[in-house]
Amino acid sequence: MSKIVIVGAGYAGMAAAAHLDKAGTPFTIVNNHDYHYLTTLLHEAAGGRGPGENYQVPIKEVLRQDSSQLVLDEITGIDREKKVVIGKAGQYEFDYLIYGMGWISEYFGIKGLKENSLSITNLDTAVQIREHIENEFKAYTTDGDKRHLRIALGGAGLTGIELMGELLEYLPELCKSLNIPFSEVDLQCIEAMPTILPMVAAHLRPYVIETLTQKGGKLRTNTKIMEVTPGVVHLDGGETVEAGTIVWTGGVRANPLLTDAGFNVDRRGRGKVNSFLQSADDDHIFIVGDSAWAEDENGKPFPPTAQMAEQMGALAAHNLISLLSGQPLKSFKPRNWGTLCSLGSDVGVGDAFGVPIKGVTAALAKEGSKAKYLWELGGMRLAGNRTKQMMRI
Ligand code: NAD
C-alpha cells in the first residue's frame, strides 16, 4: 500500500485530510498541534472577541476513520531523494506527499522589524498580541507614560485592517475596565501605498476609512516603514512613532521549507506546481495552499487565501486517489466566492460573487462563510457546535 503523508493542518492540509478520510484512504497527517485553527479569524483572537480555544478545531473531530493517523511533530525538513519528511521527533517516509505548510511573515529585509514587532501569524501570536496590549495599558495606569497607549500596525492589507477594526471594538472595553479615557489611545495603521485594501472595490475604501476613523483609529497612507528599533517605528521622511505595541501586518511569504529543500520557488518562496497541483520538481509531491505557486490560464498566480487553500487541498486529495486508481487527474479551476473584510463584529466590506457589499450585510456574509467552512469540513455536528461556542450560546 502507498504511504501517504500530509504535512500541515491548515486550510489546505485539513481539506486534503478530510477528503482522504471520507474516502477511507489511509494516510498520516503531521502537525505541530492536535488542532486546526481558523487563520481567517485570528484578528478576533487578537482583539479578545473570544478565547483562543474558540478558534481551534480538534483534528480528531474531523478525521474519524481508523485509517487516518495524526502525528504531532514539528516538521524541519524534506529529503526529496530519500522521500522522507523530517520532524523534530521523527522521520516520515512517503510515496506521496501533500505539502501544506502555509506561510510566515514577510519582512522585506526591513532593519529591526522582525526583532522589534509582533505578528499575527498563528493562534499563539494572536493571543500574545492581546496580552501584550493589556500589559501595556496596565503599565500606563502605573507610570502614566502615553507610549503604552500607542499601537502601530504596519500595513493596511486585509490583516492590518481586520485587526484594526477588532481592536477598535475591544480597546474601549479595555480602557473602561482600567479607568483610562479611550481618547488617550492612539491606534494607527501605517501603509506605504497611496491606498488601503487594494483588493476591495475602490468606491468602498472611503467607507472603510470613515468607519475606522469614526471609531477612533488613524489610517496613514503614503507612509513607509523603513526601520524598527525597540519601541520605535522609523518612517520615510525621518518621522518616528514611539509605540508600546508594534504589530507587523505588511505581507506574507511561504514557509521556507520548500526553498531549503531545493524546490523551484517564486520570489515569495512558493513551490511551482502544474495544473494538477503536483510539484514541478516531483510529481509524487502535491503542494497546496499558501505555499503553492499555482497559476490561472493567464499565468496569474492564485492569491494565498483560505478559499484557494481549501479547494487546492480537496483537489490534491482527489487527484492523489485518481493517481492510485489510474484515473485521469483534474486541473485546478477554483471558484471565487469573494473577499470579505471585517471591520469589527457587526460591520465589514467586500464582495460576494463579485457584488460589492458593506456594513452589516458584509459582517453577516463573513459569519455565514465561517459556518459554511465548518460545515464543509466536519458536517453539521462541527458547524453547529462551533457556531454555538463562538456565539457563546
Ligand atoms: P498584504 O500583502 O495583502 O498587505 C500588506 C500591506 O502592507 C500592503 O498594503 C503593503 O503595501 C503594506 N506594506 C508593505 N511594506 C510596507 C512598509 N514598509 N511600510 C508600510 N506598509 C507596508 O498582506 P496581508 O494583509 O497580511 O494579507 C496576506 C494574504 O492573506 C493576502 O492574500 C490576503 O488576501 C490574505 N488574507 C485574507 C483575509 C480575508 O480574506 N479576510 C484576511 C487576512 C489575510
Catalytic residues: 162
pLDDT on residue 146: 97
Mean pLDDT to the nearest integer, 282-292: 97
Look at ligand 1, atom 14, and give the residue with the nearest C-alpha: 250
- Does 250 contact ligand 1 (Cβ within 6 A)? yes
Residue 151, pLDDT above cutoff 60 = yes
**For the chain, what is the mean pLDDT?**
95
All domains of the chain in start order, with CATH: 4-105+252-336 (3.50.50.100), 118-248 (3.50.50.60), 338-393 (no CATH)
pLDDT for the residue 390: 61
CA of 372 to the centre of ligand 1 (A): 24
pLDDT tens digit string along 329-353? 999 999 999 999 999 999 999 999 9
pLDDT at 376: 86
Strand partners, 241: 233
Residue 392 has pLDDT above 60, yes or no: no
CA 136 to ligand 1 center in whole angstroms: 25
Min mean pLDDT across 9-13, 203-207, 298-302, 383-387 is at 383-387
Alpha-helical (H) ranges within 67-223 are 113-116, 123-143, 158-178, 205-214
**111-127: pLDDT as tens digits:** 999 999 999 999 999 99
Q: Which of 43, 33, 29, 14 is nearest to 376 (CA)?
A: 14
Residues sharing a CB contact under 8 Å with residue 31, sequence separation 6 or more, in sequence order: 7, 8, 9, 13, 59, 70, 71, 72, 73
Strand (E) or helix (H) holding 379: helix 360-390
Q: For strand 35-37 and strand 56-58, is the pairing parallel, antiparallel, or unpaired?
A: antiparallel
Ligand 1 within 6 A of 16 CB? no
The rounded distance, in Å, linking the Cα atoms of 59 and 372 is 18
CB 36 within 8 A of CB 9: yes
Residue closest to 116 by CA, chosen among 223, 225, 233, 226: 233
